[in-house]
Structure 1
Amino acid sequence: MSEFAWIDWLRERTPSVDRVRIGPGDDTAAMEFPGDRLTLVTTDMLLEGSCFRLAEAGAFRVGRKAMSVNLSDIAAMAGVPVAAVVSVGLPRSGGRAIAEDLYRGMREVADRFGVAIIGGDTNSWTGELVISVTVLGEANPRGPVRRSGAKPGDWLCVTGRLGGSILGHHLDFTPRVREALWLSECVDLHAMIDLSDGMSSDVHHLARESRCGFVLNAAQIPIHASAERLAEQDGKSQLEHALCDGEDFELLFTVSPEDGRKLIDAQPVTGLSISQVGIAVAESGVWLDEAGTRRPLPAGGYVHAFD
């Protein structure tokens, strides 16, 4: 398939959106951003062999994940995703079928959250699949929730359950966009991050940006059933999986103790699982409290590194 035929294929399947004035086909897309809200911009790149195995996952699930990880970043800022731009490096052999399945996977997630795919770039090469998605969003009326607002005494809370994502959750998760907006409407969120690299790593990001520390309570960390299954297979503890596996894509956030109790008490009504997993402290660092014994908790999740 030629580049121009691919653009035509996309245009035939891209629904019109009022605020998108120019979509795929021109040198740039054009959108209207009414009002005075901040525009949020995030991008993520997925590489075959590092982020996924195409033969195991399939292009549809890879496309779904490529869109979802970006929407999870928007959720971490309690924002509203609006539009996406997609760049793909396709292997020359079998590229058309891969491209079509990628697009369908992305569209499944984009349509669910009202996100318009407005353009991008497509190339082919002799290497493996590469996909990069950039999402534009709007801050909610209260403004974006950053990583830097945690205060000593805050409750550290998390949505959902953690660990074992490699058994499928890392590909099939639903970004917590609606949950983040609900949280921002109900309480004063001081700081927030999505759990992509793992609790033990991402809590360090919050600590560094907020210039404070955290003490995590091991007994209160919610364990996913997949982490329990993995622990039976590999000898690692369930807690280690919950802290270090990564790609949970849950929301880790801080609130006042009063707001924290409000959220915990609301669970039977909302159905959203929220756990208090720790507390913010003035001293820099991160610690894990296990049955009254406190020890430093190193960043043990995924680390992006290069020489």
Structure 2
Amino acid sequence: MATSFHEFDLIQWIRAQCPNSKANLIGIGDDTAILQPPLNCELLFATDMLMEGTHFTFPSATPERAGRKALAVNLSDIAAMAGRPHSALISLALPKSKGPEFAKAVMQGIIDLANEFQVQLIGGDTNSWDGPLVINVAIIGIAPESKSIKRSGAMPGDWIFVTGELGGSLPAHHLTFTPRINEALILNQTVSLNSMIDLSDGLTSDLQHILRESNVGAILDATTIPISNRLSSDDSNQVRLKRALSDGEDFELLFTLSPEDGKQLLNQNPLSINLTQIGEISSRLTAILQHPDGSQTTLEDSGWKHEL
């Protein structure tokens, strides 16, 4: 007769993989965790829910990669604020048909990435049902007081930069991307960032968040958009550009800063990945795409949106 395996067995297994950190007074094992944040720091909170069939599918994803992505997208939100990740709570709705090894594999993907970025797993919830896998992560980050970077600080004349390359994420990159935690910290230590966001829904969509919160506009140069080699070279330049603008799930950083600081980054990139200036913030309250022939068109918000 097979030995039964229930939620408390899973919790005990997780607890054995995640010993308490000195940064927390109590982690897994009580009704709530108790944190001890560093002095003179502000706390950053974010949460994301990922659902099988929307954010990942099996078998193109593995349970480990699904779990990894669930934590990675939350780490990307902390990176967008130039914070350091501190702790995370994980809630799982597990398919009854998959069994305990599947549950452990999902958690192993989360645990491995948590260890890589020194994130303490401090609790959460587990349930099982007849539906697909659902993973919710609530993450806590820290930043020195008044040093976190918001969407609302962009100013006319700012240069717009992006890390890495854009487009073609859906075949695999959206499951394996590296959250830009370290890059955001280096940038924030090197120059004065005015605004920043991570590119989860696509450049055209996420740029709009900065523009609305800062009450500004933008002009992007189509010739400078860093198009990923994940996109097929058989596609036309127009198709490749459109996908770089709107595919989403790149999880790169989009940020603005003064021209003086922008020149510093162009002269000496402090990162191990590409940095590209793609445009400029304007006082005109619209987003414009400037084409190679000098013509301009309104930049349509063509990124990903969940339909309700």
Letter matched to residue 83 of structure 2: G
The aligned residue for residue 285 of structure 1 is 286
Do structure 1's residue 211 and structure 2's residue 206 form an aligned pair?
Answer: no
Structure 2 matches for 1:265-276, cutoff 5 A? 265-267=267-269, 270-276=271-277
Query: Which residues of 2 match residues 228-243 of structure 1 at below 5 A?
Result: 229=232, 232=234, 237-243=239-245
Q: C-alpha separation between the residues in 1 aligned to 2:238 and 2:126?
A: 42
Partner of 1:62: 66
Listed one character per residue, the Cα deviations across residues 183-206 of structure 1 (whole Å, up to 9, x for unaligned) are: 000111000000000001111111
Worse-matched range after superposition: 16-25 or 53-62: 16-25
Residue 102 of structure 2 is aligned to residue 98 of structure 1? yes
Report the secondary structure of 1:62's partner residue. helix
Q: TM-score, normalised by structure 1?
A: 0.95
Matched, 1:9 2:13: yes
Letter in 2 for 1:35: L
Q: Is this contact kept in 2: 1:63–1:103, CA < 8 A?
A: yes
Q: Contact between 1:76 and 1:193, CA under 8 Å: does it hold in 2?
A: yes
Q: How does 1:166-245 map to 2 (within 5 A)?
A: 166-227=170-231, 229=232, 232=234, 237-245=239-247
Deviations 1:117-174 (A, max 9, x none): 1110000001110000011010135521000000000000000010000121100000
Instruction: Quote the offset at 1:270 in angstroms.
Output: 3.7
TM superposition score normalised by structure 2: 0.95
**1:47-102 deviation per Cα after TM superposition (whole angstroms, max 9, x unaligned):** 11111103220110001100100000000000010000000000111131221111
1:89, 1:124 within 8 Å by CA — same for their partners in 2?
A: yes
Q: 1:255 is matched with which residue? A: 257
Aligned pairs for 1:48-87 (under 5 A) are: 48-87=52-91
CA deviation map 1:264-293 (0-9, x unaligned): 1112x6433110001000011111000211
2:120 equivalent to 1:116 = yes
**Aligned residue pairs: how many?**
303
The structure carrying a bigger helix percent of its residues is 1
Partner amino acid for 2:305?
V
On the 8 A contact 2:42/2:145 being kept in 1, the answer is no
Q: Are 1:95 and 1:124, in contact at CA under 8 Å, matched by a contact in 2?
A: no
- C-alpha separation in 2, matches of 1:236 and 1:262: 31
Question: Is residue 143 of structure 2 the alignment partner of residue 144 of structure 1?
Answer: no
Q: Give 3-state SS (helix, strand or coil) of 1:240's partner.
A: helix
User: 2:234 corresponds to which letter in structure 1?
Assistant: E
What is the distance in 1 between the residues matched to 2:299 and 2:245? 10
Which consecutive unaligned segments of at least 5 residues does structure 1 have?
none
CA contact (8 A) 2:183 2:271 kept: no
